Amino acid sequence: MFETLIADGLVRIRQSFVAGLHDHHEHLVEAQRRIDAGADLPAALDEARFRAHKIYGTASTLGFEELGRRACECEQRMMRLLDDDAPAAGQLPQARDSLTLLIDEIARVIETRH
């Protein structure tokens, strides 16, 4: 009985997490648009870093390993850009690519959970 309660609770937590991914997805797509346009780049990078951090902190714990891996990679790449006074050539495209992979993985998780 106790195991059933825990399993049911975990299902509800996972469902809530996936429901929250819609909001993260929208904000990450907007951050990506701003990065592509070069509009307020530090704020766009920080938004992407923040969202990736929030996802990474929970995804792997709830069994979304690939999502957690993508979020971790995106967060790290955004942090490197934000921390460097003079980012190396190629860092922005790599960060943007990791953001695209995260956005795609979020969409995949949302799609497979509906």
3 backbone φψ class: left, alpha, beta (φ>0; ψ -120 to 50) = alpha
Q: What residue type is 86 in one-letter code?
A: A
What is the structure's pLDDT at 86? 67
pTM to 2 decimal places:
0.90
What is the structure's pLDDT at 85? 73
Burial (CB count within 10 angstroms: exposed 0-12, middle 13-18, buried 19+), residue 29:
middle
Query: Tell me: the pLDDT tens digits for 26-71?
Result: 999 999 999 999 888 899 999 999 999 999 989 989 999 999 999 9
DSSP 28: H
Whether the pLDDT of residue 21 is over 60: the answer is yes
